[in-house]
Copies of this chain bind each other. A is one copy, B any other.
Amino acid sequence: MKPDNSGAFSFQPVGIIRSCFTKKFGIPRQAGLVREVSAVIELLPPCNNEQVIRGLEGFSHIWVLFIFHDSMEEGWKNMVRPPRLGGKKRVGVFASRSPFRPNPIGISAVKLERIETSRGKLSLHIKGADLMNGTPVVDIKPYLPYADAIPDATGGYALEEPEPRFEVLITGNAKSCCEEEEDSGHKGLSSLIVSILNTDPRPAYYSAKHDGASFGLTLWDMDFKWTVEGDKIIVSDVEKLKTKSQDSV
């Protein structure tokens, strides 16, 4: 590989993400924030080869380098409004983890649960992913605590994990849907919904006001409807989407 005449470097995906997040809204804003979220990296040719990941099973965590493919077309600006600052203050794009970047590459440290080989597919099962279904993966690396873990790194506006601020209640149709799905194999669906909504996925400018506004959280082919009322999040309804994504896990 060489840069082309314009000095650009070109990357081919080595894998693709299969996850419950079939829409962008509701995806946790960093890896590890919602530890329950499972996802799969499906390796693509020529990397769907057991040799390329040999020895990786010994590591508890891995880095996933990926493309913010669903944010690319919007381009980027010098400054962004991070949700952690309530959407009010702007910071430079390089002082943020915004997906709208000059080169839209993301890095996520996730837990490696297991590696599966079946029917010619090589899949890495991961936990704590903040990755949309269909995300192109451009690299996978072992997480090396002696080089990558700097627990006493300081400064900036986003030092601590955001605290859950809500009580999440699943009621009505949403509740019966969760019960049915859990019976038929989607174990832990309710607690997944609770954990995701606890991170408050609303756009930053909604957070302080707009009580009562309605939102949807799409997981697989289910669009869960929810509202915020004071310190409660109420999930009361669900709509099954017609175009079920066959590829999400």
Contacts and interface: CB of A to CB of B under 8 A. Distances in A.
A205 interface: no
A150 B158 contact: no
A158 B30 CA distance: 25
B147 A109 contact: yes
B13 A10 contact: no
A69 to B, nearest CB: 8
Interface string A97-113: 10001111101010000
A36 to B, nearest CB: 16
Interface residues of A, number: 80
Contacts of A1: 72-73, 75, 104
Interface string A128-168: 00000000101111111111111111111111110000000
A64 to B, nearest CB: 10
Interface in A21-79: 30-33, 46-47, 49-56, 58-61, 63, 65, 67, 69, 72-73, 75, 78-79
A60 B153 contact: yes
B153 A105 contact: no
A102 B49 contact: no
A160 B146 contact: yes
A169 interface: no
A7 interface: yes
